[in-house]
Amino acid sequence: MLQLAPGQRIHFIGIGGAGLSAIARILLERGYAVSGSDLRGSALTAALAENGARVYIGHDARYVQGADIVLATSAAPPDHVEIEAAEAQAIPIFKRQAFMAAILRDCDTIAVAGTHGKTTTTSMIIHILQRAGKDPSFIVGGIMANTDRNAGVGKGPSFVIEADEYDNMFHGLYPNLAVITNVEHDHPDFFKTPAQTRAAFQTFVNTMAPDGPLVACADDAETLSIAEARQADEGNVTTYGIHNAAAEWRATDLCFDSETVKARISHHGLPRAELRLSVPGRHNVLNALAALVAASKRGVSPEESAQALASFRATARRFEIRGERDGLIVVDDYAHHPTEIRVNIEAARLRYPEHQIWAIWQPHTYSRVQQFWSGFLKAFEGADRVLVTPIYAAREEPLEGITGIALVKAISAYGAVAYTPTFDDAVETLRHSARAPAVVLIFSAGDANLIADRFLAGGS
């Protein structure tokens, strides 16, 4: 078992990633020496360097010399130059799953899992606990607008963490309290079938403390099934939802306007709080309800949670309004799955009913596009215009027939769609064709958020 001790130097391969950068920050704040490398610099790597980490741009065998432990991103291949160097020097190498148990040892771990919504729900729980004076430690997969951070060490006993299912990272968390927002097949490069996805979430639940509460979304059939299995074995399951009348906690009477979403929160049919959110969409009401229920398990009243959530602001790249130019509101969103795209277009319609909806989509990974092809074709039905960029390959090689152009030809049956081979082409199309009032939703888990920067700056 991995043992961490003060004075150790931990080296990160891929220190700029959302997950590893957060762990690096936790270790820095706990007094460890941190070094790391990545292909390119970013705001995350710059912040870590400013706070004392030794950050290298590029990869080199020399960078691991003197490290006590190496933590490697899942994207690093076995023949990575720094992995081979660490092996040659007998330096232990770990991935996040094995590393997290050591980070979380002796903490009251609150883990938020789900194919969709886990970043926002985790951020909401952190925000509630901070406002309630609980001062949790935390790791979240995005920069929280309320704190400007993705990780931090608090003085309270709780550690709130986003439970990432990729590479089964969440199997190393062993939570005392867990939330599952939904379970849907994703990451087809790792989970080959929906059954494998479900099995991974079931294992996550099985790693919970025996008496630990599970907070589960009753509106999602797969999540409810997993919750019912735990209820039969261990008990201590709490359900929430909007549509499922059998849910213990419910949000009802949803009301949408140009600035807020309102809902009534009830517990076993009895009114408990009035919810008011600045983040749009039905899905965010569910996220907020999950956060409220989880916080209630740690002594925060529903009324206090609802009051805290009124000041919650969107996490970076989760329906993040980047600005407005010429009557076009530009929104950056991390959505890269058909369900995420669909619900964000719906959220834009609810918030801006008089606006034209433009969707700019950077497809993410060939395997995901291939696996969810039919879902992507229908995901944009709620948009007025769609622009598609080339596929962001990430860690993958191209697949024959899976291209941005092929997607455009297939999507064209559902509405107005065009292929923009460069980001500058997308910017020019917006300038010449989009008319106010309009909302431009940029869907990207890659680098297409640069389109927002260029359009808002007025240059190509």
DSSP three-state, residue 182: coil
Give every CB contact of residue 261 below 8 A, 6+ residues apart in sequence: 254, 255, 275, 276, 277, 279, 280, 281, 284, 285, 350
Question: What is the arrangement of strands in the sheet containing 177-180, beginning at the earlier edge strand?
Answer: 149-152, 137-144, 158-162, 108-113, 177-180, 214-217, 237-241, 249-256, 261-267, 270-277
CA–CA distance, 124 with 334 (Å, rounded to integer): 17
Q: Which tokens belong to 348?
A: 């834009």
CA–CA distance, 37 with 45 (Å, rounded to integer): 9
CA–CA distance, 109 with 170 (Å, rounded to integer): 12
Place of tokens 């957060």: 22
Place of tokens 């719906």: 346
Strand partners, 93: 70
Count CB-CB contacts under 10 A for residue 396.
16
Count CB-CB contacts under 10 A for residue 290.
29
Count CB-CB contacts under 10 A for residue 304.
17
Q: Residue type at 333?
A: D
CA 152 centroid distance within chain: 17
Backbone φ, ψ for residue 105 (5° rounding): -55, 130
CA–CA distance, 451 with 460 (Å, rounded to integer): 9
Q: Residue type at 245?
A: A
CA–CA distance, 360 with 451 (Å, rounded to integer): 9
Catalytic residues, by residue number, are 118-119, 162
- What ranges make up the beta strands (E) of 130-269? 137-144, 149-152, 158-162, 177-180, 214-217, 237-241, 249-256, 261-267
CA–CA distance, 282 with 256 (Å, rounded to integer): 9
Count the helix, strand and coil residues of the chain and give each as a percent rounded to the nearest 5. 35, 25, 40
CA–CA distance, 251 with 148 (Å, rounded to integer): 29
